[in-house]
Structure 1
Amino acid sequence: MLNFLKKIVESLSPDTSSGQNKSGQPSNYQQQYYPQSNSVKERQERDAVVSSEKQTVSGIKANWVKPGTSVSVAGFDIPGGMVYVGTQLPTIGPYKQIDPCLINPKLRVDKTRSDYAGNEMGYWPAYGDISPGARAAYLEWLMGDRKDPDACIGYVFLFFYGLERRVFIDLSETADSSAELTHIIHEVERLLALYPDSHSFQGYAARFVEVCKLMHNPDSFAEAFPVLEKTGWQMPLSTQVALGKTVAAGKPISADWLFSWYLHSETTRLRTPATRCATEFQKLLRLKYAEKYGEGMVLKPNKRRLKVEYRPASSGFSHSAIGIDVGDLPDVSALTAPLSKLQVLVDDCTDALDPYSRWLGRNADKCDAKAAIALLPTELVEDFENDEIRLLRQWLKKTLGDQSHQAISGKQILAWWSITGTEKLTKKESTTLAKSFEKLGYGIEPDVRFGGKALQKESHLVLFKLPKEKISTPSQAYSAAKILMHLSAAIATADNIVDASEQQHLEAHLETTLALSEAERIRLRAYLAWLLKEKLSLRGLKTKLGEMTPDEKAGIANFLISVAGADGHISPQEITMLSKIYPLLGFEADDIYSHIHNFSTSTAIDHSSAQPPVRPSTEPVTVRLASSVNRGFTIPAPTVDAQDKKEVTAAGFALDLTAVKRKQDESANVSVLLSNIFEEEEDDLVEPMNENQTLAEDTEDSVSSLDGPHTKFLRILAQQPSWSRAALESKAAEFNLLLDGALEVINDTAFDVCNEPLTDGEDPIDLDTDVLEQLLP
């Protein structure tokens, strides 16, 4: 370290090699101002005076009061030392003046006019130049162990000037200064914590500490932690040195070191989510960085060398920059490509945290962890530390156990979710609950995002485990399959007995014929489990079914009969339910009997007529029982012509592959028919409007500055919190609007009203329900 300090002094001291300084004048710098260098005896005498427990200095020489000792000046007993006391201490440079840090005990001190607020302090204060009242206030602050947070920051700087001089000048002549340097480092770190509001002091002092640590142990930065918050206008010395050494050694740069570089670059800027949610942002950035770059980027060393300087705060150095020797290292701050690559990940993380950030901004005083995780990126939920979330996880896991799905009540969920004891949630609250469960890996059906109603205490639901693939909005195929399941379940549950074969038939149809993703199949299976336990209604279907063609209605009829007869028997209750559906399909209620007969003698659907085709039966078929009580129908095993049958023997069973394939194709066709026809029942998707809303629509009153078409489109948007792009393009076309232009107009209005956009994302397009409530109160 001695060599390190000598290099610093050489950059500051006048040239004495020829007996002259840089100005050409004879150099008597050390002889005149450092008489302790003249003889060992004088140095011993000085040390004896300075090391005394309490001393009164009245001589003409300046002395450094060592750490841990005390000194008395003008009646103030100053503990802890670390100050210069005397009458002469020259500044560094060609023009010699009294160093501003020097406490001259001969100068007047006015205790009666103590200027503790520092009203008479200049920008670069010097003890010899400040007023007697300011000197009294400075000595009072020193006597109070330098810990009053209300003291004028100018007094802190006066003390700091002395530490700068001690480190960069005096310690160069001390063979072993490690202990004192450590003490000074700890003192400045303490002051940094006491005076965090002074950006100027934070900048100078933080840099000073880094230089001292480098002097104390040049290899210390190899074990240092990256600075992950901006502390000043300069890049931290630890970041400069650590990056230089990492690149020089050909090692990968970790996410934290690269982010420290990014954070202190003059060309980068963090958006609000990255600063408001700093902890979550940095965690997410580490995950995405590791996913993209593994252990980190490996950079080729550039030619520009690292030059580090320290610019003292004290005017006693004539504002000269002190060169710091860090060895031969590359200066990576000259590179731009690494930061450009990191910028992509920074933007991704910022966008992912934007909903959570906006929610925090609105709920800073009432943060609910359960609601918060609904908005957190999925990658962060697993490590989210919170007792409420931990207990909720445990309950979900215990409730589901090893089952694929489990029936639960709204009362059970509300007991864990609501802290107010409410008996029902709003649609918005139900959406938040569903998203939170999703982030924890669980789903519920009915789900308000997929057409279900808002959760109530009396609600019956099905809990299930979600796969890794997540879906947040229903696809067209899923919506069609859901309606088909609804109709089929209505038939299957008509007799209040769900036969295992009926449920198997529905599940087999789900597994083998519908063009759904695995996540959609799992969710639809849970929905089916809920349907089979509910008392189902056919409300709202008449209009949609009426829009179908005869061929399409015939296909639906055949499939529903196949569901009812999957157990080989159609009960009277199932016939009753079918007879209710038949008029919706355009058939007479009594047509059910002939259709059952036709279905029992057919293995294919002929769409050339409105009714299912008829094939001759080769054995008796029961159409209506002779008994006065209708006991239902038993369907005999269908027989097909030999030429239509292709048998394959597998494991002892004869499989009719042609018939199996035909039945799959028929069921798939039914799903396709429904995909463009059915929409969910209106009262399941849209919350009831009040009279004022209805009136506003009837009179076509505009919302804020929106015209009629945009107002109507906004009300369509309000029907659900998330839309697929294709669906919204279709809705916009109904009002002769282009989707992107319409959303821009609406978002501009939202900014005017509440300074936030209404929509977010490209596909799906999500709505900020808080903004929506302000646009449509």
Structure 2
Amino acid sequence: MRENTVKGSLIVLFVSCFILFWILASFSASIYFITFLMGLVSILFLRHKFIITFSKKILLTVLFLICFIIGYEKGMQFFFQSMLVFGVVGVLIWKFIKDPNKGISMKTAFSSVEIIKKIISKPQPYFLGKGTKIEIGGYILEDPLIYVVDSKTYEEFDASLLCLRQPVGFPQQTNQRTLPYWPSLSNADPNQVATYVNWLATGRKDPNIELGYVFICFYGLERRALVDRKDILDVGYEVIRLLGIYGNSGSFRNYATGLLIHLILLGILMPKRKLITALMNYQEGYLSETFQTMLLGYLSKNNIPLPDNWAFYLAKQDERVVRSVVLTRASEEFQKLFTLRYNEKCANQLIPKSNGHTHWIEYRAASPTLLRGEGFETTVSPAEWPVIVEWKKQFSPVVKLFNDCIEELKAYSRKTARSTIDKSKAFTALPSDLQQELKHPQQDEWDKLLESYSNDSKIWLVPVEKIADLNRITYRPKISLSQSEQIARFVESFGLSIEPDPRYTEKPFQWKDYAAILRLPDKPYLPETKNYALVSVIVPLAIEVSLASGELEEKEQQVIVEFLQERFMLTRNDRLRLDALIEVSLKNEISLLGIKYKIQYLFNEVQCKSIGKFLVMIAGSVSGICPKELEALEKIFVKVLWLSKELVKEFVNELGYTINEAERLSIKGIKGSQGEVIPPRVAILDINKIRKIREESIEASKLLIQAMEQSASEASHSDIAVIKNETVVMQNESIRNISNILISNHIKPFFQEIITKEKWPNDEVNALARKHKVTISAALEEINTWSDENLGDFLIEEGDNLTVNKELLDNFGGN
């Protein structure tokens, strides 16, 4: 736009001068003057390579006017002869005076007055920045970001100064070092100049160029930013770009990052997060003292907390952190975990403290010219910066957090070190909150599995065998407890939860079982209190009673949930787990055997009566109790709670419920079964009746929770004395290969002791379970699963007493 303005102004000037001289003098005088003026302007513009195409057109016009003057003075013959000669000259001018299209833009161009001053004075260096283009030795440089001068030599300005009239030879291609330690273009030979100009012309990006040429360019950028204090952003971006190509050189990396740091210290370059992060990356794991001073001072001056990624780099080089292979084996996972933990514990807390004093930070230049202080009046200014105090003490919690993260990832690191390890198994060794930040190796397979079992509910009912297959667990009718817990961790690694969860039920899955998969909103995902553990014992019993008369109606399910929610003060996660537990219990076949031993282990007779009363309350809350439900209650009272069946009617009468004589004719657990159409039982929720017994039931629930907590405490803190009852003791020789038995390690001590006798009364079994800190039902299931697969039958038979199959053991010992 500005070039067009110059062109238009010159045309107006030429026309005005021609008309003015014609009026004041004569036509011939105006022709002579305008020819001289146009010739002078075109020569000046061509000499300084300014709007060359336009200048050549002016010069060709001048040649035509000269031919016209000759013809006007000498005649037509001389006109045609001069046209022939000057036509050839014009063609040569047009061909050999090269035009680099746009030329030098007005950003760095000189005004007419400046051009005239330049002609009569010594040429001065100038900077070619963004938006400029120039031709040097046949090379066209775009946005060169260099200092140039229109002379053959120029002393004492800068080592990077390129003289436009110095000879340009041919680029060198050699692996040998050709430049001195502090290179300078004033001492370079023509071939070295050509190598440098060629590197500039090809975008300053050849990674194989001798590093000295990169430093020559850097000298100019350093001078432009620190001395001229202009084009700061252009210089900053270019230095970062060069770091990306030549940052492998420690010398160049130190000088380049040092320049950017000093520009920040001087306050002429804004320390944006992207810039600081880039500088950290180029510090190659070691942050210089100047960089740390700049970083902490900037945060202190602006009252900004230390961000997580900056804290990571500072902690990584702190001498107090543990040096571990975790940092190399699991670098990506470690940084993500550190970020999570830092934001949990330290976010917005660490602001470096200043004592109000400042100190001066000097700059060591890369350029030999700036080091000598040549070419400018003053040296590079030092920067005034805040003094930070007690930073090491303030940063100590972050160092501890860093070391804690290493500990958290050691198990994962060990697994990834083994080339044969399944990636999904290594993934489950990560902390659960970190798993949610990373994509699971089997995420796509898992998504397809859930999609095939999706429904309108927020709960997926998925066969355990499908999850086991995905987790590389081979078929067995009863999955071991350790493998069941592995399945639970596998599901959790996708950010989901499983119900029932064997990690708190201590009950393994069966291969043909279904499991409920759900997403929980709150952490921790596993129940922390015994409230839900108690609920998980009562729910299957309540469902068993409700199913006795047919399918579980929606109102009945609602009563069960609300009743347990109120009595046991369930959390939001527990409530969602309860819904899932009911769904999966309806899908699976309910086994009362495991519940029976769990209740025997946890509760006394009084507490069992409280559970029985809860079941009666739930059964009677919707339209009373029918005969089938009464029969189911009596069965549970006798076989599970070890209570008299007469207590059922006693509780029914005590609570004021009625027994409906009419039976509901439908097939257990199946909707829409064929047969005589019987009007469905009307579901009437008797809220008044629930309120009447509310206080008593809440008090009972508290006692049951206390009993569970007390049992857990006793199991974890007390050692039960060895049982001294006289019994038939088996020979230890029959079980010499205990270490080879494929059951969970924590169950093996229980197993080794229980096979020492043939008969075990229930109270002794309970004491033995407490001693070895196992759950009876879980231990018996795992032992019998192993014996069924390996010995062909159950090793331990259940009844009034536990009986160990001595014959099986003898056979095992004989083998």
TM-score, scaled to structure 2: 0.51
Match of 1:227 in 2: 277
Match of 1:489 in 2: 543
* 1:660 Cα deviation from its structure 2 partner: 4.1
Match of 2:566 in 1: 512
> Does the CA-based 8 Å contact 1:480-1:675 persist in structure 2?
no
Q: How does 1:127-276 map to 2 (within 5 A)?
A: 142=199, 145=202, 150-151=207-208, 155-156=210-211, 158-163=212-217, 165-166=219-220, 178=230, 185-211=236-262, 218=268, 220-221=270-271, 225-227=275-277, 229-232=280-283, 233=286, 235=288, 240-241=293-294, 243-244=296-297, 247-248=300-301, 251-253=303-305, 255=307, 259=311, 262=314, 275-276=331-332
* 1:357 Cα deviation from its structure 2 partner: 7.8
* 1:253 Cα deviation from its structure 2 partner: 4.0
Match of 1:661 in 2: 695
* 1:288 Cα deviation from its structure 2 partner: 3.8
* 1:231 Cα deviation from its structure 2 partner: 2.6
Match of 2:136 in 1: 70
1:70 and 1:330, CA in 2 relative to 1: closer, same or farther beyond 3 A? Answer: same
The alignment's C-alpha RMSD in Å is 6.8
What secondary structure sits across from 1:189 in the alignment? helix
* 1:569 Cα deviation from its structure 2 partner: 2.1
CA displacement, residues 607-649 of structure 1 (integer Å, 9 cap, x when unaligned):
xxxxxxxxxx9x9x99999x9x9xxxxxxxxxxxxxxxxxxxx
1:473 and 1:317, CA in 2 relative to 1: closer, same or farther beyond 3 A? Answer: same
Match of 2:487 in 1: 430
Residues in 1 aligned to 2:566 and 2:233: alpha-carbon distance in whole angstroms: 74
1:225 and 1:376, CA in 2 relative to 1: closer, same or farther beyond 3 A? Answer: farther
Equivalent position to 1:479, from 524, 533, 536: 533
1:323 and 1:449, CA in 2 relative to 1: closer, same or farther beyond 3 A? Answer: farther
Residues in 2 aligned to 1:121 and 1:400: alpha-carbon distance in whole angstroms: 74
1:177 and 1:463, CA in 2 relative to 1: closer, same or farther beyond 3 A? Answer: closer
* 1:734 Cα deviation from its structure 2 partner: 5.3
Match of 2:717 in 1: none
Q: Is 1:699 aligned to residue 755 of structure 2?
A: no
CA displacement, residues 209-266 of structure 1 (integer Å, 9 cap, x when unaligned):
4546778x72534797433634335549787557545534x63445269638836976
Q: How does 1:279-678 map to 2 (within 5 A)?
A: 280=336, 284=340, 287-288=343-344, 292-293=348-349, 297=351, 299-312=353-366, 317=371, 324-325=380-381, 328-332=384-388, 335-340=391-396, 342-343=398-399, 375=430, 378=433, 406=459, 408-410=461-463, 427=484, 430-436=487-493, 439=495, 443-451=497-505, 460-462=514-516, 466-472=520-526, 475-498=529-552, 503=557, 506-514=560-568, 517-541=571-595, 543-544=597-598, 551=606, 554=609, 556-566=611-621, 567-572=623-628, 575=631, 578-579=634-635, 582-583=638-639, 585-586=641-642, 592=645, 594-602=646-654, 659-670=693-704, 672-673=706-707
What secondary structure sits across from 2:259 in the alignment? helix
What secondary structure sits across from 1:302 in the alignment? strand
Residues in 2 aligned to 1:170 and 1:300: alpha-carbon distance in whole angstroms: 32
> Does the CA-based 8 Å contact 1:149-1:195 persist in structure 2?
no
Match of 2:784 in 1: none
1:326 and 1:134, CA in 2 relative to 1: closer, same or farther beyond 3 A? Answer: same
> Does the CA-based 8 Å contact 2:233-2:269 persist in structure 1?
no
Match of 2:812 in 1: none
**Unmatched runs of 5 consecutive residues or more in structure 1:** 1-38, 52-65, 93-97, 604-616, 630-651, 680-694, 704-710, 718-729, 737-777
Letter in 2 for 1:538: L
> Does the CA-based 8 Å contact 1:141-1:148 persist in structure 2?
no
* 1:202 Cα deviation from its structure 2 partner: 1.9
* 1:162 Cα deviation from its structure 2 partner: 2.5
Letter in 1 for 2:381: D
**Comparing both structures, which one devotes a greater share of its residues to helix?**
2
Letter in 2 for 1:493: L
1:190 and 1:362, CA in 2 relative to 1: closer, same or farther beyond 3 A? Answer: farther
CA displacement, residues 398-451 of structure 1 (integer Å, 9 cap, x when unaligned):
9787x7x65644499979x9799x9999747733453256x4xx6442335444
* 1:498 Cα deviation from its structure 2 partner: 2.8
> Does the CA-based 8 Å contact 2:265-2:383 persist in structure 1?
no
* 1:205 Cα deviation from its structure 2 partner: 2.0
Letter in 2 for 1:226: I
> Does the CA-based 8 Å contact 1:545-1:584 persist in structure 2?
yes
Residues in 2 aligned to 1:376 and 1:409: alpha-carbon distance in whole angstroms: 25
CA displacement, residues 28-47 of structure 1 (integer Å, 9 cap, x when unaligned):
xxxxxxxxxxx977864576
1:521 and 1:419, CA in 2 relative to 1: closer, same or farther beyond 3 A? Answer: closer
1:91 and 1:387, CA in 2 relative to 1: closer, same or farther beyond 3 A? Answer: farther
* 1:387 Cα deviation from its structure 2 partner: 14
> Does the CA-based 8 Å contact 1:288-1:345 persist in structure 2?
no
Letter in 1 for 2:699: D
1:388 and 1:297, CA in 2 relative to 1: closer, same or farther beyond 3 A? Answer: same
> Does the CA-based 8 Å contact 1:481-1:671 persist in structure 2?
no
1:450 and 1:83, CA in 2 relative to 1: closer, same or farther beyond 3 A? Answer: same
TM-score, scaled to structure 1: 0.53
> Does the CA-based 8 Å contact 1:443-1:466 persist in structure 2?
yes
1:513 and 1:365, CA in 2 relative to 1: closer, same or farther beyond 3 A? Answer: closer
Q: What's the % identity of the aligned pairs?
A: 14
> Does the CA-based 8 Å contact 2:513-2:588 persist in structure 1?
no
Letter in 2 for 1:519: N
Match of 1:745 in 2: none
* 1:519 Cα deviation from its structure 2 partner: 3.2
> Does the CA-based 8 Å contact 2:546-2:552 persist in structure 1?
yes
* 1:491 Cα deviation from its structure 2 partner: 2.6
> Does the CA-based 8 Å contact 1:202-1:231 persist in structure 2?
yes
CA displacement, residues 732-777 of structure 1 (integer Å, 9 cap, x when unaligned):
99589xxxxxxxxxxxxxxxxxxxxxxxxxxxxxxxxxxxxxxxxx
CA displacement, residues 470-517 of structure 1 (integer Å, 9 cap, x when unaligned):
332564443333223223322332333335675455335422333654
Letter in 1 for 2:136: S
Letter in 2 for 1:276: E
Residues in 1 aligned to 2:687 and 2:530: alpha-carbon distance in whole angstroms: 38
Match of 2:763 in 1: none
> Does the CA-based 8 Å contact 2:500-2:516 persist in structure 1?
yes
**Bigger Rg over Cα:** 2
1:451 and 1:659, CA in 2 relative to 1: closer, same or farther beyond 3 A? Answer: closer
Letter in 1 for 2:737: T
What secondary structure sits across from 2:282 in the alignment? coil
Match of 2:11 in 1: none
* 1:541 Cα deviation from its structure 2 partner: 4.7
1:562 and 1:491, CA in 2 relative to 1: closer, same or farther beyond 3 A? Answer: same
Residues in 2 aligned to 1:170 and 1:702: alpha-carbon distance in whole angstroms: 77
* 1:286 Cα deviation from its structure 2 partner: 7.2
What secondary structure sits across from 2:363 in the alignment? strand
> Does the CA-based 8 Å contact 2:146-2:217 persist in structure 1?
yes
Letter in 1 for 2:577: R
Residues in 1 aligned to 2:308 and 2:200: alpha-carbon distance in whole angstroms: 41
Q: How does 1:56-135 map to 2 (within 5 A)?
A: 68-71=134-137, 82=146, 115-116=174-175, 118=176, 124=181
* 1:194 Cα deviation from its structure 2 partner: 1.6
1:251 and 1:388, CA in 2 relative to 1: closer, same or farther beyond 3 A? Answer: same
